[in-house]
Amino acid sequence: MHLGRTTLSKFLLQQLRDIADGNDLGALLVDVAAAIKTISAMTAKGALGGYLGDLEQRNGQGELQKKLDVLANDTMIRHCEWGGLLAAMASEENDEALPIPPDCSRGPFLLVFDPLDGSSNTDVNVSVGTIFSVLRHREGASGDTADFLLPGQEQVAAGYAIYGPATMLVLTVGKGTHGFTLDREIGNFILTHPLMRIPADTGEFAINTSNARFWEAPVHRYVAECQAGRSGPRARDFNMRWIASMVAEVHRILVRGGVFLYPRDSKDAAKPGRLRLLYEANPIGLLVEQAGGAASTGRQRLLEVQPTSLHQRVPVILGSRNEVERIERYHVEHDSGTDRPFVSPLFNERSLFRPEALVS
Ligand code: AFP
């Protein structure tokens, strides 16, 4: 691999030559990369292209759609539906699985994606991204929603684009996590970050602390210890970040370490977490594990969660392995009742900080 010279296509030829349907998988990833280049051009043009602002419409989950949400979604579909590589697609922006048009041939893979992650940041010029996951389509399956309900460890490829000062594509085909930078002048993704590795330890955590009153006790315990710094039980200071674009948080973690938490909270009983399992947690979880990190719900390895619906949400805790394992330990100690000496009585199950307690 020659840094600064290896193109995405050459890299994929080398990485996939020993995989049975490697040529088809490589061709699909090249189609995804082409869609990402188009989305990158739109995000870079911003207001000058009329790409900012909301549409007066909501997606199937009732979320207000940005113009770029819909444009990015259409771009992913248009670039990937005709190559004869897919049995079906699914997207955050579409309620049901998307069949391949009858005039296009089908192929062995399923593609599921969040076309624009962090879209609430588009109008304020903060980095956003695209997240994608590739699964193998089982022989004889119909290509409807049920086919996508496979645990994350079944993914054959996963990746994200981050539309930042530079546009980067970070992906894995199960042989490590690798980063490519878009050279706009020649329109090629060039290998710049081979074999990315997440340090096992970190002093940086990312969580939306405005939700603190809804967290479970183990998360309170972990965050409180980080905030206590060198005078607390961790005997070291921590830094906090929250960009509100998961792709940007994860990219930082892949480059310099850290832990990202969007944990289970009691804000909405119908939503055990905010992030979607199939097209946010699973692809990011595979990238993180392939880079030596860990990805968990707090109580289970993320990639082993058995999906039950296309848009289901899941708690997400991922990044530097030793921190994720500490947080998992705190969940085990809480569930077994052995964490009492470490957790302020304010935050146990009958705490003042439970929403119903605050209301009464
Ligand atoms: P949007 O795509 O709706 O902006 O959500 C982004 C996201 O799914 C993820 O990328 C962020 O980490 C998280 O939500 C931010 O959530 P909060 O807005 O609750 O902090």
Q: Give how far Cα 186 sits from Cα of 121, 171, 181, 183, Å.
A: 28, 21, 12, 6
The domains of the chain, with CATH numbers, are 3-193 (3.30.540.10), 204-347 (3.40.190.80)
Is 15 close to ligand 1, i.e. is its CB under 6 Å away?
A: no
Residue 44 φ then ψ, to 5°: -75, -25
The Cβ of residue 252 has, within 10 Å, a number of other Cβ atoms equal to 19
pTM for this predicted structure: 0.94
Going by the annotation, the residues of the binding site are 92, 114, 116-120, 208, 280
How far apart CA 5 and CA 134 sit, in angstroms, is 26
Is 244 close to ligand 1, i.e. is its CB under 6 Å away?
A: yes
Distance 150 CA to ligand 1 centre (A): 24
Q: Which of 250, 17, 299 lies closest to 9, judged by CA?
A: 17
Terminal CA-CA length for the chain = 63
How far apart CA 54 and CA 17 sit, in angstroms, is 44
- Residue pLDDT, tens place only, 122-163: 999 999 999 999 999 987 767 688 899 999 999 999 999 999
Is 245 close to ligand 1, i.e. is its CB under 6 Å away?
A: yes
Contact 21, 135 (CB under 8 A): no
Residue nearest to atom 12 of ligand 1 (CA): 246
Is 120 close to ligand 1, i.e. is its CB under 6 Å away?
A: yes
Is 274 close to ligand 1, i.e. is its CB under 6 Å away?
A: yes
Residue 79 φ then ψ, to 5°: -80, -25
Atom of ligand 1 at shortest range from CA of 262: 12
Atom of ligand 1 at shortest range from CA of 128: 10
- Residue pLDDT, tens place only, 281-313: 999 999 999 999 999 999 999 999 999 999 999
Per-residue pLDDT of the chain (360 residues; tens, 9 = 90+): 666 689 999 999 999 999 999 999 999 999 999 999 999 999 999 999 988 888 888 887 778 888 999 999 999 999 999 999 999 999 999 999 999 999 999 999 999 999 999 999 999 999 999 999 999 998 776 768 889 999 999 999 999 999 999 999 999 999 999 999 999 999 999 999 999 999 999 999 999 999 999 999 999 999 999 999 999 999 999 999 999 999 999 999 999 999 999 999 998 888 888 999 999 999 999 999 999 999 999 999 999 999 999 999 999 999 999 999 999 999 999 999 998 776 666 555 444 444 444 333
Is 246 close to ligand 1, i.e. is its CB under 6 Å away?
A: yes
Is 122 close to ligand 1, i.e. is its CB under 6 Å away?
A: no
Hey, what amino acid is at 5?
Answer: R
How far apart CA 73 and CA 78 sit, in angstroms, is 9
How far apart CA 269 and CA 273 sit, in angstroms, is 9
Residue 62 φ then ψ, to 5°: 80, 10
How far apart CA 135 and CA 158 sit, in angstroms, is 9
Q: Which of 212, 219, 214, 208 lies closest to 343, judged by CA?
A: 219
Contact 206, 219 (CB under 8 A): no
Going by the annotation, the residues of the binding site for substrate are 117-120, 208
Residue 91 φ then ψ, to 5°: -140, 150
Residue nearest to atom 6 of ligand 1 (CA): 118
Is 66 close to ligand 1, i.e. is its CB under 6 Å away?
A: no
3-state secondary structure 9-75: HHHHHHHHCCCCCHHHHHHHHHHHHHHHHHHHHHHHHHHHHCCCCEEEEECCCCCEEEHHHHHHHHH
